[in-house]
Structure 1
Amino acid sequence: MTHIRPRLGPMLAGGVSLAALALALNLAPVRQQVADWMPQNAPGVEKSRVERPEARGDAEAFKSTDLARLREERAPVTQDAVSQTTSEADAPSASAPAPQVAAEPMFDAAPPAPMLLDRSMVPQGGATHLAMPQDQMPPVYQDQGRDRFSEITANPVRQVADDPVSTFSVDVDTASYAFVRSSLNRGVLPPKDAVRIEEMVNYFDYDYPAPDDAGAPFRADLAILPTPWNDATKLLRIGIKGYEIPVGATPHANLVFLIDTSGSMNAPDKLPLLRNAFRLLVGSLKPDDTVSIVTYAGSAGTVLEPTRASDKAAILAALDRLSSGGSTAGAEGIRQAYQLAGSQFDADGVNRVILATDGDFNVGISDPEALKDFVERKRASGVSLSVLGFGRGNYNDELMQALAQNGNGNAAYIDTLGEARKVLVEEAGSTLFTIAKDVKLQLEFNPAAVSDYRLIGYETRQLARSDFNNDKVDAGDIGAGHTVTALYEFTPVGSEGGLVEPLRYQDAKPAAPATAADEFGYLKIRYKLPGEDTSKLIETPVTRSLEAGALEDAPQDARFAAAVAAFGQILRGGQYTGSYSYDDVIALAQGARGADPFNYRGEFVTLVRLAKSAAALEPQRR
């Protein structure tokens, strides 16, 4: 592409029509755009010429060409028009008048390899103007190898005799799965710390029974099945589905879009994708919902005061005016966004800041701990914070997770417009409307039935046993219609080849109470209803009656969740999956795909196939 740029300006300025150039270069997309640019059924075939301004022969001459005359003289192009071009070698000197174009082929009998035009040199989207040449455009931001993720150490195997209780906070984020997909679609394996297994499993919807009453916003759905990668162990699948708010009954939404417009957002998968994502969200809001927009780069400012969603034209115009440039004063933007949300606070509605960024804060407060503390204090005001991540190369996932988890919000990664539609339109209820907050799970294993266990994923959501009953300890929230899935792998007592070798000199396992002889464990769930500060408790035993004798007899959703968990573990190195392979994951997922109206599960199978041939490290850009 670089070898054509010195030639393109002189050729256009010297009298070569853009259409002829596109045809000569055999660029089908460009020819189609040029055809759309021309009037239909124009009579005759004439030379399309542009008078050379000063025959300077460089990009500056191209920039100053009278484009209006070019548009006036455009006409259909035939092969004869292609022959009416001039070569670079025949270009006149700066003092010579512009010559007539010689009737000779543009290329010799053996043309060179096809050349590509810079996209900025041709009309885009049927526009009636030519963009500035590439060397006059602001550079697209590109970075590599600066993505940041919190270090994750897989949950260890715990022996029930020593540590029978497991406690953790729910997690409804899906950012990890989308980032993994983005990596695999680029032909490279994701960094291990980018793979959070619970987020990969929770990316998918599962057909768990939904509650009918908002006062009891969910109930547990349990299943036990053979572990696909270990014949000696079992999987316990815990599923929760949130109460679904009826259509038309959603509360008023007071939303502040906090948008990063710094220089690092100048990339096709950042600010342009971000604008389109918010356009989708605006289209799904109710007319009386409120939208405000705050942007930040070197400084922060309000670009749209609180506006009713019914005035879509004003909101969309504000989005279209956004451009990128400067450094990143993210902390100041967050302060202003909270202030604006507070000015429109609705005690009976949803008050939420939606931060859209690559997370590359470099002005003002940029330390994740300091920002986390600020957001944690602000959540007490009733304003929550959700995060949408964009881009690669300098993506700061560590900061995104800290903000979302402490802001009583969720985190998603937007790599495609389809993902934006999934998060902001199809799952808008679960993204925006909370039906339960501070949701904690605690599972006590029966030492007479289980010898050891491990929780798959949720490493960043672990809680102390005493945190379960402490209503001051923050935990994850669940949105309307959200599904949450957790998987435990455990070894039944008496099973050979479990997760931990038995000890020779320890006392025998204590006997279980007679009333618990049929139980593997006991599950407790604590949650608070929105607007309340005292938690409620759900309890249910984990009985042997839930167990499927064979893997194929297990519920379909449980098998698919196991396939996703296996894939995530393999991407992280397969510490506990043994010889289980990508092909095994594919077979398990295909057999449990079930109803898949949006092809999310089919896409998962494709990603596993891509992982088989993906590179371990992204090639260095030059």
Structure 2
Amino acid sequence: MPQPLEAHVSAPPPPAYIVSPAEMSPVSKVANSPMQQMSRSVQENAKLDMSQASVTTTAKYQKIQENSWKLVTEEPVSTFSADVDTGSYANVRRFIQQGQLPAHDAIRAEEMVNYFSYDYALPKKDDAHPFSVHTQLSASPWNASRQLLRIAIKGKDLAKETLPAANLVFLVDVSGSMDMPDRLPLVRSSLKLLVAQLRPQDRVSLVTYANGTRVVLPATAGDQKAKINLALEQLSAGGGTNGEAGIKLAYAQAHAGKIQGGINRVLLATDGDLNIGVTNDRDLKALVERERKAGISLSTLGVGDDNYNEALMKKLANNGDGSYHYLDSLQEAHKVLVNEYTSTLATIAQDLKLQVEFNPALVKEYRLIGYELRALTREQFNDDKVDAGDIGAGHTVTALYEIVPKGSKGNIDALRYQPNISDKAPSKETQNKEALSDELAWLKLRYKTPGSEQSQLVETPIKQTNMVDNIKSADQDFRFATAVAAWAQWLRGSSLIANYGPKDILALANSARGSDRFGHRAEFIRLVELSAALHPVQAKQLSKKQTKPAVAETAALESD
């Protein structure tokens, strides 16, 4: 465990990382110089320019461009899809536990925030909608002149015994790339955890793919656990990866055992390394979308590191009305498939979209933290044909906006040839509309009940009075979610959180650990400490005093 940080750590530059298990330094390659011939300690502390580090990886991540500030006078409306995927956090954890800082595009703030459970109030039994909505406002911890807005959604919970019967198809990649301890063996053990939760009315099929495809186990009742586990135990890896054929066979098996009114889902476990048949994302996405409309959903369980195609795993789950998870350990599988069994399998609201309209009388600028891959246009909010995120039983969804209040210094300069609308006195008509109350914004949500083609609308004001002066006065869950969001931005080297770094994140997270039943928040704190120790700028700061004599000696040797 690294020692507590003593120095303030600023936002990092783009992190250098490696992918080879044999190399555990955060630096992969450094531009040639005479210093490279010296001792390792001298290399790490004399003229080491991390910006020259060479990054090599064969994993595939969807490119992310961090959300920028928006002027309310130009773009008052923000629209995005809900997201309950958690894969980014587990993957980032895997990087750090291997002694590496994560790839930039592996870091998605919303998935890291939503990895954790939050104690938001459940909807009441007689509520018209299957989820509750809560908002709170606080001063921003990294800029006191700005504010943070939290939007929190809590899905109604269901007891496992009350779930509809489940028709599950385990689709397992058994190609040669899965023949590693952290891949097929982990998948076998993980699915056995799920099998232990099954009831007699549930049924499971097992389909595999490599060069070819095979139905290893036809639909089998959930109480025949020994038979299902034996089929899983006999799986072995080898050959190519014909994922398209495997997906098609799994869907055929799902249709053959389809339960009307039940849960019908394919669970795809793979490293995503497709190399036979249709391998492009667009065609596979179209296949999954067709089956989604036919009532068969798809969730993905990603494993592995080298050649890991996370971009494909996430796209397939998003378009399959399922969720994406990354399994870096059996503990993570237990979280997803046991602790969150009902959330993972039972959908209570489909195609959940959020739209926030900010009041220009109170808000000058805003930015949404995360959800870059879930952005929607304003028109798509009302289009019921546009797919969006699904919410499982008991799921929580958290979204954070940073806000520049009216009258505060903003981030975007006024245009030279356009009137500076934000500083003009509003008309009487505008004043009347804007002075309705202390409404900071107007929140709208659209969702479909499972099986419905028509969405329902939920609307609620976001009040400025619901504000605390300091993040330390916010509720425990708000504080912790903010700490996670800050860490995600710091890892990405974001300039939008100023000098807010690990020391500040740790203080905030430690103040919000709560009961922490499963130890997830304590683990987060350890990961923040580890990431600070791995970070090249921090490492240089910690070792500078110790290495000055060595650097001087090297300089003397060079002059000789």
Counterpart in the other structure of 2:471: 551
**Structure of greater relative contact order (alpha carbons < 8 Å, 6+ residues apart):** 2
User: Which among 496, 512, 518 is matched to residue 598 of structure 1?
Assistant: 518
State yes or no: 1:363 paired with 2:363. no
State yes or no: 1:253 paired with 2:173. no
State yes or no: 1:198 paired with 2:110. yes
User: Residues 187 and 613 of structure 1 are in contact (CA less than 8 Å); yes or no, is this contact kept in structure 2?
Assistant: no
User: Residues 252 and 350 of structure 1 are in contact (CA less than 8 Å); yes or no, is this contact kept in structure 2?
Assistant: yes
CA distance in 1, matches of 2:371, 2:310: 16
Counterpart in the other structure of 1:506: 420
User: Residues 189 and 616 of structure 1 are in contact (CA less than 8 Å); yes or no, is this contact kept in structure 2?
Assistant: no
Q: Secondary structure at the match of 1:189?
A: coil
Counterpart in the other structure of 1:530: 450
Structure-to-structure mapping, 1:33-112, within 5 angstroms:
none
User: Residues 140 and 470 of structure 2 are in contact (CA less than 8 Å); yes or no, is this contact kept in structure 1?
Assistant: no
Counterpart in the other structure of 1:612: 532
Q: Secondary structure at the match of 1:401?
A: helix
Question: Which residue type is aligned with residue 532 of structure 2?
Answer: K
Counterpart in the other structure of 2:228: 315
Once the two structures are TM-superposed, the CA of residue 377 in structure 1 deviates from its matched residue by 1.2
Once the two structures are TM-superposed, the CA of residue 220 in structure 1 deviates from its matched residue by 0.8
Counterpart in the other structure of 1:35: none
Counterpart in the other structure of 1:577: 497
User: Residues 293 and 302 of structure 1 are in contact (CA less than 8 Å); yes or no, is this contact kept in structure 2?
Assistant: yes
Question: Which residue type is aligned with residue 217 of structure 2?
Answer: L
Counterpart in the other structure of 2:40: none
CA distance in 2, matches of 1:383, 1:162: 41
Counterpart in the other structure of 1:176: 88
CA distance in 1, matches of 2:248, 2:425: 55
Counterpart in the other structure of 2:147: 234
State yes or no: 1:349 paired with 2:262. yes
Once the two structures are TM-superposed, the CA of residue 516 in structure 1 deviates from its matched residue by 2.7
User: Residues 361 and 434 of structure 2 are in contact (CA less than 8 Å); yes or no, is this contact kept in structure 1?
Assistant: no
Q: Secondary structure at the match of 1:324?
A: coil
Structure-to-structure mapping, 1:245-324, within 5 angstroms:
245-324=158-237
CA distance in 2, matches of 1:224, 1:591: 18
Cα 1:503–1:553, aligned 2, differ >3 Å: closer, same or farther?
farther
Q: Which runs of 5+ in 1 are unaligned?
A: 1-143, 618-622
Q: Secondary structure at the match of 2:245?
A: helix
Once the two structures are TM-superposed, the CA of residue 578 in structure 1 deviates from its matched residue by 0.8
Counterpart in the other structure of 2:551: none
Cα 1:509–1:611, aligned 2, differ >3 Å: closer, same or farther?
farther
CA distance in 1, matches of 2:258, 2:365: 49
State yes or no: 1:464 paired with 2:373. no
Question: Which residue type is aligned with residue 558 of structure 1?
Answer: F
CA distance in 1, matches of 2:440, 2:425: 14
Counterpart in the other structure of 1:224: 137
User: Residues 229 and 578 of structure 1 are in contact (CA less than 8 Å); yes or no, is this contact kept in structure 2?
Assistant: yes
Cα 1:595–1:384, aligned 2, differ >3 Å: closer, same or farther?
same
CA distance in 2, matches of 1:303, 1:384: 21
Once the two structures are TM-superposed, the CA of residue 478 in structure 1 deviates from its matched residue by 0.2
Once the two structures are TM-superposed, the CA of residue 212 in structure 1 deviates from its matched residue by 3.1
Cα 1:172–1:600, aligned 2, differ >3 Å: closer, same or farther?
same
Question: Which residue type is aligned with residue 436 of structure 1?
Answer: A
User: Residues 198 and 485 of structure 1 are in contact (CA less than 8 Å); yes or no, is this contact kept in structure 2?
Assistant: yes
TM-score by length of 2: 0.83
Once the two structures are TM-superposed, the CA of residue 502 in structure 1 deviates from its matched residue by 5.2
Once the two structures are TM-superposed, the CA of residue 185 in structure 1 deviates from its matched residue by 0.5
Q: Secondary structure at the match of 1:152?
A: coil
Once the two structures are TM-superposed, the CA of residue 247 in structure 1 deviates from its matched residue by 4.2
Name which one, 1 or 2, has greater alpha-carbon Rg: 1
User: Residues 159 and 342 of structure 2 are in contact (CA less than 8 Å); yes or no, is this contact kept in structure 1?
Assistant: no
Cα 1:306–1:450, aligned 2, differ >3 Å: closer, same or farther?
same
State yes or no: 1:541 paired with 2:461. yes
Q: Secondary structure at the match of 1:468?
A: helix
CA distance in 1, matches of 2:413, 2:434: 27
Once the two structures are TM-superposed, the CA of residue 355 in structure 1 deviates from its matched residue by 0.0
Question: Which residue type is aligned with residue 506 of structure 1?
Answer: N
CA distance in 1, matches of 2:344, 2:159: 15
Q: Secondary structure at the match of 2:162?
A: coil
Once the two structures are TM-superposed, the CA of residue 500 in structure 1 deviates from its matched residue by 3.0
Cα 1:264–1:151, aligned 2, differ >3 Å: closer, same or farther?
same
TM-score by length of 1: 0.75
CA distance in 2, matches of 1:544, 1:358: 46
Question: Which residue type is aligned with residue 605 of structure 1?
Answer: I
Counterpart in the other structure of 1:18: none
CA distance in 1, matches of 2:123, 2:112: 24
Structure-to-structure mapping, 1:388-467, within 5 angstroms:
388-467=301-380
Once the two structures are TM-superposed, the CA of residue 501 in structure 1 deviates from its matched residue by 4.3
CA distance in 2, matches of 1:616, 1:461: 32
Once the two structures are TM-superposed, the CA of residue 393 in structure 1 deviates from its matched residue by 1.0
Question: Which residue type is aligned with residue 244 of structure 1?
Answer: D
Once the two structures are TM-superposed, the CA of residue 394 in structure 1 deviates from its matched residue by 1.2
Question: Which residue type is aligned with residue 181 of structure 1?
Answer: R
Once the two structures are TM-superposed, the CA of residue 215 in structure 1 deviates from its matched residue by 4.9
User: Residues 187 and 615 of structure 1 are in contact (CA less than 8 Å); yes or no, is this contact kept in structure 2?
Assistant: no
Q: Secondary structure at the match of 1:188?
A: coil
Q: Secondary structure at the match of 1:237?
A: strand
User: Which among 393, 396, 405 is matched to residue 480 of structure 1?
Assistant: 393
Once the two structures are TM-superposed, the CA of residue 615 in structure 1 deviates from its matched residue by 5.8
User: Residues 264 and 297 of structure 2 are in contact (CA less than 8 Å); yes or no, is this contact kept in structure 1?
Assistant: yes
CA distance in 2, matches of 1:241, 1:613: 35
Which 4+ stretches in 1 moved above 6 angstroms?
Answer: none
Q: Secondary structure at the match of 1:233?
A: strand
Farther off after superposition, 251-260 or 241-250? 241-250
Question: Which residue type is aligned with residue 611 of structure 1?
Answer: S
CA distance in 1, matches of 2:483, 2:253: 44
CA distance in 2, matches of 1:366, 1:509: 57
What are the Cα deviations for residues 512-531 of structure 1, in whole angstroms up to 9, with x where unaligned? 41553411100001111112
Question: Which residue type is aligned with residue 459 of structure 1?
Answer: E
CA distance in 1, matches of 2:208, 2:291: 19
User: Residues 176 and 194 of structure 1 are in contact (CA less than 8 Å); yes or no, is this contact kept in structure 2?
Assistant: yes
Q: Which runs of 5+ in 2 are unaligned?
A: 1-55, 538-560
User: Residues 196 and 568 of structure 1 are in contact (CA less than 8 Å); yes or no, is this contact kept in structure 2?
Assistant: yes
CA distance in 2, matches of 1:527, 1:257: 28
User: Residues 257 and 292 of structure 1 are in contact (CA less than 8 Å); yes or no, is this contact kept in structure 2?
Assistant: yes
CA distance in 2, matches of 1:284, 1:446: 48
Counterpart in the other structure of 2:543: none
State yes or no: 1:587 paired with 2:507. yes
Question: Which residue type is aligned with residue 148 of structure 1?
Answer: K
Question: Which residue type is aligned with residue 594 of structure 1?
Answer: G
Once the two structures are TM-superposed, the CA of residue 509 in structure 1 deviates from its matched residue by 5.9
CA distance in 1, matches of 2:179, 2:78: 44
CA distance in 1, matches of 2:535, 2:361: 46
CA distance in 1, matches of 2:261, 2:425: 53
CA distance in 1, matches of 2:388, 2:61: 21
- The RMSD of aligned alpha carbons is 1.5
